[in-house]
Structure 1
């Protein structure tokens, strides 16, 4: 097992879902950033190197599918699963 810290971005408009994930990740080697909407997610993903993005599909303003399309079309974020 590795001690390497993974960086993930969690995107969900539900505070309770973000809180649950935050609690679940405590004490792990995972550093999480959180976004509550698609626009925040795009901004954070383009300015930070993440290993993984957990993306809610049913977001307000701009849905998760569109956020995914935008991120996959950008060379800085296209390879993030």
Structure 2
């Protein structure tokens, strides 16, 4: 998964990094500076990419044929697993 946020207005877009399918869109109307996932051992920070408000809105709402994109055709960097586990 790839997470894109516009930290100016709180728009968050989650995209499947293999297929390019948009999985989730949410606007929090407040700056987003970090995302976390709850796991057994506690909260874990999720990597995200900050994008300009105008760019993320254009990619999400204007570049699709019907006014809202459902699949991104851009190459995503491969996800890497950490080499060392924190104890």
TM class by shorter chain equals 0.3 to 0.5
Larger Rg: 2
Structure with more of its chain in helix, by fraction: 1
Per the normalisation by structure 1, the TM-score is: 0.32
Structure with more of its chain in strand, by fraction: 2
